[in-house]
Structure 1
Amino acid sequence: MEQQQLPNSTLILVFGIISIVTCCCYGIIGLPLGIVALVMANKATAVYAENPEIYKGFQNVKTGKILAIIGIVLNAIFLIYVIWMFTTIGYDGMQEAQEEFMRSFNQGMEEGRNK
């Protein structure tokens, strides 16, 4: 009997990767993708546990689950950091810090060109 691909194994892996890549999007994109990948991985693991001999692609599910957990943690940390920044210095303070960073960055670039 030919083995069939485990349902959603590739999608779980892709969602896990995207949840890590989008961790700097304020947690809005990566956190839901990581949670969805984790739920799908748990369901796929249950399906695989029932009949492991008829499915292939469980390695993708395991890898996607690990990546989803890492993505959830990174997104949660970044989201908590952003919330903390808004509560401590506010939106205007964040805008001022960004403008100051850009001014110093541009100044450093100009000094590098002049050398």
Structure 2
Amino acid sequence: MERQQLPNSTLILIFGILSIIGCCCYGVLGIIFGIIALVMAKRATEIYNAQPESYTGYQNVKTGKILSIIGLVLSVIYVIFMIIALIIYGGFEGLQEIQEEFVREVQQNQ
């Protein structure tokens, strides 16, 4: 029987890399790509564990999972750092002002 490529193994690796790169975009893209890669890796691991002799590309899944965990951790740390920096720089009043401005913009766009 011919071995086939594990579904989405390359995509999981790419999303893992993008999660590390995305941590530089205020952490939001890193969190998004990291979560997507972890969910896809869990599904691919289940498929592989059911019939390991039928699939190749599991190394990409493992590497992508590790990269997505690293990217997710870096992104969460970056988001926490940005929130702390906003509080220190603008104080709680500045944070409330930013929040009120955001609410006004959302209301105007509706």
TMscore range, shorter length? 0.7 to 0.9
* 2: CA distance, partners of 1:66 / 1:31: 14
Number of matched pairs: 92
RMSD: 1.4
* 2: CA distance, partners of 1:90 / 1:32: 27
Q: Which runs of 4+ in 1 moved over 3 A?
A: none
* 2: CA distance, partners of 1:11 / 1:90: 40
* 2: CA distance, partners of 1:13 / 1:31: 15
Based on CA coordinates, which of the two structures has the bigger radius of gyration?
A: 1
Q: Identity of counterpart residues, as a percentage? A: 61
Match of 1:24 in 2: 24
Normalized against structure 1, the TM-score is what? 0.77
CA-to-partner distance for each residue in 1:59-115, whole Å, 9 max, x for gaps?
000000000000000000001000111111129x9xxxxxxxxxxxxxxxxxxxxxx
* 2: CA distance, partners of 1:43 / 1:34: 14
Normalized against structure 2, the TM-score is what? 0.80
